[in-house]
Amino acid sequence: GAGVSQSPSNKVTEKGKDVELRCDPISGHTALYWYRQSLGQGLEFLIYFQGNSAPDKSGLPSDRFSAERTGGSVSTLTIQRTQQEDSAVYLCASSYPRGELFFGEGSRLTVL
């Protein structure tokens, strides 16, 4: 693919519902990251996948957040029982090991 693809681009949900955000990385990139960016804020690290290694989940803010990466390619970030404070843009990025990160356009989540 031409770049990192994320879907949906926008998601509005009600408090308490579960949401799934998808990331399709650049072909061949073994590293995949999820970050969260609240309005006007920085890039908060959530989770990192590298090849077949165990993911670094140290940034996940609570056990309501989880992510998986199937077949070393597509990744899904799941937020269970969403809260209003989960509202943010969720950015996915991929790279070669320790190389330049290429970001997707992000998924804007709004929890009502």
Partner 1 sequence: GENVEQHPSTLSVQEGDSAVIKCTYSDSASNYFPWYKQELGKRPQLIIDIRSNVGEKKDQRIAVTLNKTAKHFSLHITETQPEDSAVYFCAAFLNQAGTALIFGKGTTLSVSS
Which stretches of the chain bind partner 1, using CB under 8 A?
Answer: 33, 35, 41-43, 45, 47-48, 50, 56, 58-59, 91, 97-98, 100-101, 103-106
Cβ-based nearer residue to partner 1, 19 or 31: 31
Distance of closest approach, residue 8 Cβ to partner 1, in angstroms: 16
CB 104 within 8 A of CB 93: yes
- What span, in angstroms and rounded, lies between the C-alpha atoms of 25 and 105? 12
Distance of closest approach, residue 61 Cβ to partner 1, in angstroms: 15
CB 95 within 8 A of CB 29: yes
